[in-house]
């Protein structure tokens, strides 16, 4: 009786010199390119306008509930400043952790990302927000130091002291002119970056 199927041939032995199969190539990491400085500064101007609306509601509630009239010698002044600082921070952190964009950033087509290209977590977003204030705080200290050293006093505004402190006020943003990736100082320190999505 004939066999219904042919006997399979033995497999050829694998030579020791045969190279192993190449590992799969991982997908290419998207290039994280920073947006232009003009677009970023235009977004900041737009952001400043929107912040009036962001601050209005908490400022109104604070003044109405605590009868704060904005007096410089009021014991509530520092609490009011802390409230505004927190309200602005909540606005930015929520936007940065939910898609990485505020409305002006969407308009100018860039977003905030971590080193891996994803939106930053809450801790990193709060860190970035806190580091944004390095320049403004340095500028305030330089201004106060300049008016004290010159004997001009703090009762009146000093134009000369103001121009001395301007580079410090803008330190965070001027940093981008020298940064290798054109990132701001607070992004460099916080481990975040602004990414162009207009391409």
Condensed to tens digits (0 to 9), the pLDDT of residues 139-187 reads 999 998 888 887 666 557 788 888 999 999 999 999 999 999 999 999 9
- How many domains is the chain partitioned into structurally? 1
Position 150 in a domain: yes
The mean pLDDT of the chain is 85
Q: Give the span between the Cα atoms of 16 and 94, in whole angstroms.
A: 58
pLDDT given at position 15: 53
Cβ atoms of 125 and 96 within 8 Å: the answer is: yes
Query: Which H or E element spans position 111?
Result: strand 110-114
Q: Give the span between the Cα atoms of 117 and 194, in whole angstroms.
A: 10
CB neighbours (10 Å) of residue 68? 17
Cβ atoms of 96 and 106 within 8 Å: the answer is: no
For the stretch 92-110, pLDDT in tens is 999 999 999 999 999 999 9
More reliable by pLDDT, 68 or 31:
68
Q: How confident is the model at residue 73 (pLDDT cuts 50, 70, 90)?
A: confident
pLDDT at residue 25 greater than cutoff 60: no
Q: Give the span between the Cα atoms of 175 and 134, in whole angstroms.
A: 12
Q: How confident is the model at residue 199 (pLDDT cuts 50, 70, 90)?
A: low
User: Residue 135: phi, psi to the nearest 5?
Assistant: -65, -55
pLDDT given at position 29: 47
Domain extent at residue 78: 37-196
Q: Coil, strand, or helix at residue 24? A: coil
Half-sphere exposure of 76 (CA within 13 A, CB side): 14
pLDDT at residue 23 greater than cutoff 50: yes
pLDDT given at position 28: 44
For the stretch 56-66, pLDDT in tens is 999 999 888 88
Position 140 in a domain: yes
More reliable by pLDDT, 71 or 35:
35
pLDDT at residue 83 greater than cutoff 60: yes
Position 4 in a domain: no
Position 66 in a domain: yes
- Average pLDDT, integer, range 35-53: 94
Position 24 in a domain: no
Position 26 in a domain: no
pLDDT given at position 131: 97
Q: Which of 190, 169, 63, 67 is nearest to 123 (CA)?
A: 190
Tell me, letter by letter, the H, E, C secondary structure of 60-92: HHHHHHHCCCCCCCCCCHHHHHHHHHHHHHHHH
Position 23 in a domain: no
Position 12 in a domain: no
């Amino acid at each position: 009786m004939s066999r219904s199927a042919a006997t399979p041939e033995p497999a050829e032995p694998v030579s020791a010199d045969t190279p192993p199969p190449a590992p799969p190539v991982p997908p290419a990491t998207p290039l994280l390119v920073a947006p232009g400085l003009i677009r970023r500064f235009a977004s900041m101007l737009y952001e400043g306008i929107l912040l009036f609306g962001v601050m209005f509601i908490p400022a109104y509630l604070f003044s109405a509930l605590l009868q704060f009239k904005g007096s410089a010698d009021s014991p509530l002044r520092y609490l009011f400043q802390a409230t505004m600082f927190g309200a602005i921070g909540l606005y930015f952190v929520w936007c940065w952790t939910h898609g990485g964009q505020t409305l002006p950033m969407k308009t100018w087509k860039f977003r905030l990302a971590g080193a891996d290209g994803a939106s930053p977590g809450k801790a990193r977003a709060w860190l970035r927000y806190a580091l944004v204030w390095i320049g403004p705080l340095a500028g305030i200290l330089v201004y106060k130091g300049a008016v004290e050293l010159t004997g001009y006093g703090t009762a009146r505004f000093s134009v000369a002291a103001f121009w001395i402190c301007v580079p410090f006020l803008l330190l965070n943003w001027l940093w981008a002119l020298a940064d290798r990736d054109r990132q701001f100082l607070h992004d460099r320190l916080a481990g975040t970056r602004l990414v162009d999505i207009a391409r």
